[in-house]
Amino acid sequence: MFKYILILFVVLTASAGDRVTGQSFATRSPVIASHGMAATSQPLATQVALDILKSGGNAIDAAIAANAMLGLVEPTGNGMGGDIFAIIWDAKTQKLYGLNGSGRSPKSLSRQWFIDKGYDKIPSHGPLPVSVPGAVDGWFMLHDKFGVKSMQEILQPAIDYAENGAPITQLIAYYWNLSVPRLSKYEGFNQQYTINGKAPKEGQLWKNPNLAKTLKIIAKEGRDAFYKGKIAHTIADYMKKQGGFLSYEDMASHHGQWVEPVSTNYRGYDVWELPPNGQGIAALQILNILEQFDVSKMKLDSAQYVHLFTEAKKLAFEDRAQFYADPDFNKIPVKQLISKSYAKKRAKLINLKRAGKSYPAGNPALEKGDTIYLTVADTFGNMVSLIQSNYRGMGSGMTPPGLGFILQDRGELFTLQENHFNTFEGGKRPFHTIIPAFITKKGHPWMSFGLMGGAMQPQGHAQIVVNMIDFGLNVQEAGDAVRIHHTGSSEPTGEHMTHGGILNLESGFSYATIRALMRMGHKIQFANGPYGGYQAIRIKDGIYWGASESRKDGQAAGY
């Protein structure tokens, strides 16, 4: 009898799935390696990055190679038709560099054109939301400044896979299947992005010979082949035929920009983001507000913490809706928005017992004081935090003939409201959702990380920081922990928050927590994401600790 009880105990213990080390909710332990590390949202892209590192390339080379590979195997989130942002820790100069590789709207298109045609907002798909694709220029900016291998060597893995095929993973097949009915009506999409009119299935081999051909051209002839050569003419001719405005002149005049990353110190750690036109500083604003409270004494899944975090997010996002836009067209009060004195003033608006139904945007000028993310680190100490996207999954649906990629629809994020910071203007960069992040401590690199997923991104960045610094989780646990995703805040496209928005809670929050939040006045949706896609590399005593998103198909791997 005792034997059967013992067997039953063993079976029950095994089926419970609790970890014997670390937090029980962790999907795995961190990946640890001493020479190099890559974490991307697709295992083949991670392996491409490692191959580049092992053959003498640095983290910058490997990040470009992985991004090119992701354009093939994860076109549901990125591609050569999109934009790029990056934060680079350069081991030689011991400093951070920021890349804003976002493209501008067509110069020949105006807000008045939309108004005259009866539009109250910019369409989500088709030719009208298309802006200049900045990714390829961004690759070459990164390579020219930091790269050591030739672009031919860097792009060759993606070329080989595009010609010979790569099997599509589960989640990517799922999202691809959702996009096909929406985008099939656009010329060029079905021919280049379906197999007999259907999305590739999980495990099915996907080839893209047109993409291989385009990559070969830019590998051999450089970035101008994309922006000033036959590729640019093909894009411009196609867009004109589709009723769009993106022209050869728009392509030829494009240039990315090196920018200074900005930071706030959160309990002794410097958290770095890029300034607008991206939304990265929203994460810094959230952290500054949270720092006014002793979060470490709260529980990660408690109503007390979830409520506080949500209200801090609401406050930051009201400023995001009002002030985040292209700094070439507006004076953005970045320094004031991320100041501690401003955060203290804003934190006073929070009622710790009741959800705010609306908040005003602040007045910082009065103060004086769907996407892929990847990260790579190398044996020299360089680290890259890189994010790249087409927006709305596969982008606009505009698929120029013979090129093998889809153009982005970032222009949808402009507003048509007159005199708004983010109103549509020709030659202007739209408000951008994609943001890379980095943490340093006492001037040394501590972690390169990101969390993709639209408006979830700054919320996710702040939660990762809090999970590690306040709650003491390791780099993998910080990503596996249950997430909060508040929606319905005011937006840079002109929408305003009504009735406090909606609080989406991932599976894992208790019903006691949910009930408590409802009593505070929050409108709850349960397990109704998306909750973002996380990758990270932490450096500790010269050793790299990698983490990858358990909710996606990614992989962290080192050597």
Per-residue pLDDT of the chain (559 residues; tens, 9 = 90+): 444 333 333 333 333 457 788 898 999 999 999 999 999 999 999 999 999 999 999 999 999 999 999 999 999 999 999 999 999 999 999 999 999 999 999 999 999 999 999 999 999 999 999 999 999 999 999 999 999 999 999 999 999 999 999 999 999 999 999 999 999 999 999 999 999 999 999 999 999 999 999 999 999 999 999 999 999 999 999 999 999 999 999 999 999 999 999 999 999 999 999 999 999 999 999 999 999 999 999 999 999 999 999 999 999 999 999 999 999 999 999 999 999 999 999 999 999 999 999 888 876 653 333 689 999 999 999 999 999 999 888 999 999 999 999 999 999 999 999 999 999 999 999 999 999 999 999 999 999 999 988 889 999 999 999 999 999 999 999 999 999 999 988 888 878 888 889 999 999 999 999 999 999 999 998 777 678 899 999 999 999 999 999 999 999 999 9
Cα 103 off chain centre by: 16
Q: What is the DSSP letter of 197?
A: T
DSSP letters along 72-105, please? HH-TTT--TTSEEEEEEEETTTTEEEEEEEPPPP
Question: To which residue do tokens 């996002």 refer?
Answer: 317
Round to whole Å and give the CA distance between 234 and 88: 33
Q: Say if pTM beats, i.e. exceeds, 0.85.
A: yes
Return the pLDDT at 530.
Answer: 77
Return the pLDDT at 522.
Answer: 96
Question: To which residue do tokens 């501590």 refer?
Answer: 446
- What are the CA-CA distances from residue 157 to residues 48, 65, 70, 239, 449 (Å)? 7, 7, 11, 30, 24
What is the identity of the amino acid at 358? Answer: S
Backbone angles phi, psi at 423, to 5 degrees: -70, 150
**Nearest to residue 438, comparing CAs of 428, 451, 429, 427?**
451
Round to whole Å and give the CA distance between 296 and 305: 10
Return the pLDDT at 499.
Answer: 82
Indicate if 234 belongs to the active site. no
Tokens of 159: 């070329």
Q: What is the 3-state secondary structure (H, E, C) of 220-271?
A: HHCCHHHHCCHHHHHHHHHHHHCCCCCCHHHHHCCCCEEECCEEEEECCEEE
Say which of 371, 379, 440, 513 is annotated catalytic.
371
Tokens of 269: 């750690």
**Three-point CA angle 79, 219, 82, nearest 5°:** 20
Domains identified in the chain and CATH numbers: 37-258+394-413 (no CATH), 260-372+433-558 (3.60.20.40)
Return the pLDDT at 526.
Answer: 78
Contact call for residues 141 and 384 (beta carbons, < 8 A) = no
Return the pLDDT at 491.
Answer: 86
Contact call for residues 440 and 432 (beta carbons, < 8 A) = no
**Nearest to residue 122, comparing CAs of 428, 373, 366?**
428
